[in-house]
């Protein structure tokens, strides 16, 4: 909230603060901790109708996975989706076209300083565990080599993430992203063990191999849900051999473009001539479900490779758990047709 107030210090606005239980907006909305129930409760608890004359709420775009716009409209409040990132709010409120374009503020960027922050979150526990193992086993030199080597490698991995990213379609065909991740971990393991060997003289002894094994174990832990800690990829914990894709029923689509407004990955485009939405970048979809939740015509749904589907009502009535999974019933056909 303090960061938001700093961003909006030159704007004359009211802030409605909803408790997300210490979880970021995106994860809280997807996990059921910040939904339309909490928002409606906040409106009534703080008597918002008596505070402001208008009936318009600017809601974080990333909350669209859990907040149903149409339910707020039923009680007389108009919902507008704000930008994906907080720093774009002043330009959004100004509505002057200054700064980033409207399309760019919908895309969830992942700047280098946030990638470093995420790297540190991974590095600290790995560093502590490595110190507890290697300090009594091999001494401070090995512990430092492990901590600094793995830390530097993870930091570089996050920094170069925009370079090594691939579409999910490519990944499913050749596993290119997993190959890059494996190669990165092997290079790190060899580098750390060689550096330790040169420093200590243990060229063909067991300590360098123990260091290399520890490095590989660290990257195995990192690989469990490395992609899920970025805003560019869906969690691999919930991914199985039957991948799910976003699908559109053109018969139902009426061109309200709510999916375009809430998608953080720029998957959709609006065809103004046909008044229909098009899925132009399916490989960028991270299956957050925001587009499905907000579509007023239920024209969007998830479809498995074997033809089974997950219907919109199921997405709206289920939430993601910590493993990125939903308790869902999978249907055979979509009532609206393909």
- Position 114 scores a pLDDT of 92
CATH 3.40.50 domain extents, the chain: 2-106
Taking the model in full, what pTM does it have? 0.81
**85: closest CA among 178, 183, 3?**
3
Sole residue written with tokens 């998830």: 302
Q: What is the pLDDT of residues 181-209, one digit of tens each?
A: 788 888 998 888 888 888 887 766 788 88
pLDDT level of residue 317 (50, 70, 90 thresholds) = confident
CA–CA distances in Å: residue 269 to residues 263, 276, 280, 315: 10, 9, 6, 22
User: Which spans in 61-159 are helix H?
Assistant: 69-74, 89-94, 112-138, 140-159
- Position 118 scores a pLDDT of 92
pLDDT level of residue 331 (50, 70, 90 thresholds) = very low
Q: How far, in Å, CA of 231 to CA of 108, rounded?
A: 7
Structure-block tokens of residue 3: 């960061």
- Position 268 scores a pLDDT of 95
Contact 199, 145 (CB under 8 A): yes
Q: How far, in Å, CA of 236 to CA of 223, rounded?
A: 9
Q: What is the pLDDT of residues 74-102, one digit of tens each?
A: 999 999 999 999 999 998 988 744 444 56
Q: What is the pLDDT of residues 49-77, one digit of tens each?
A: 999 999 999 999 999 999 999 999 999 99
Least confident of 70-74, 177-181, 331-335: 331-335
pLDDT level of residue 324 (50, 70, 90 thresholds) = low
Mean pLDDT of 233-256: 76
CATH 3.30.70.20 domain extents, the chain: 244-317
Structure-block tokens of residue 298: 């239920």
Question: Considering the chain, what percentage of its residues have pLDDT values greater than 70?
Answer: 85
Q: Is the pLDDT of residue 176 over 50?
A: yes
Class of domain 2-106: alpha beta
Q: Is the pLDDT of residue 166 over 50?
A: yes
Residues of the chain by 3-state class (helix, strand, coil), percent to 5 = 50, 10, 40
**CATH code of the domain occupying 244-317:** 3.30.70.20
Angle at 246 between CA 80 and CA 30, to 5 degrees: 50
């Amino acid at each position: 909230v303090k960061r938001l107030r700093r961003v909006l210090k030159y704007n004359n606005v009211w802030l409605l603060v909803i408790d997300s239980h210490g979880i970021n907006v995106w994860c809280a909305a997807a996990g059921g901790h910040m939904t339309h129930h909490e928002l409606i409760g906040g409106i009534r608890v703080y008597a918002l109708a008596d505070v402001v004359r208008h009936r318009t709420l600017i809601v974080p775009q990333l909350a669209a996975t859990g907040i149903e716009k149409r339910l707020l409209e039923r009680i007389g409040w108009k919902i507008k989706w704000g930008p994906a990132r907080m720093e774009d709010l002043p330009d959004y409120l100004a509505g002057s076209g200054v700064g980033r374009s409207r399309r760019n503020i919908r895309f969830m960027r992942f700047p280098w300083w946030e990638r470093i922050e995420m790297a540190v979150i991974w590095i600290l526990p790995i560093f502590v565990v490595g110190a507890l193992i290697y300090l009594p086993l091999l001494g401070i030199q090995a512990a430092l080599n492990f901590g600094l080597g793995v830390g530097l490698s993870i930091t570089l991995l996050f920094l170069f993430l925009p370079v090594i990213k691939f579409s999910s379609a490519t990944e499913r065909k050749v596993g290119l992203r997993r190959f890059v991740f494996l190669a990165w971990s092997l290079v790190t393991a060899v580098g750390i063990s060689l550096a330790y060997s040169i420093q200590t003289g243990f060229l063909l002894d067991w300590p360098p191999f123990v260091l290399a094994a520890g490095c590989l174990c660290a990257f195995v832990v990192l690989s469990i849900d490395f992609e899920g800690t970025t805003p560019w990829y869906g969690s691999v914990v919930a991914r199985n051999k039957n991948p799910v894709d976003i699908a559109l029923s053109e018969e139902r689509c009426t061109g309200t473009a709510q999916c375009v407004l809430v998608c953080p990955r720029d998957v959709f485009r609006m065809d103004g001539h046909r008044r229909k939405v098009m899925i132009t970048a399916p490989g960028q979809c991270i299956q957050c479900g925001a587009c499905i939740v907000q579509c007023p015509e239920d024209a969007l749904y998830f479809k498995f490779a074997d033809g089974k589907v997950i219907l919109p009502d199921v997405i709206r009535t289920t939430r993601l758990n910590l493993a990125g999974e939903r308790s869902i019933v999978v249907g055979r056909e979509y009532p609206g047709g393909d």
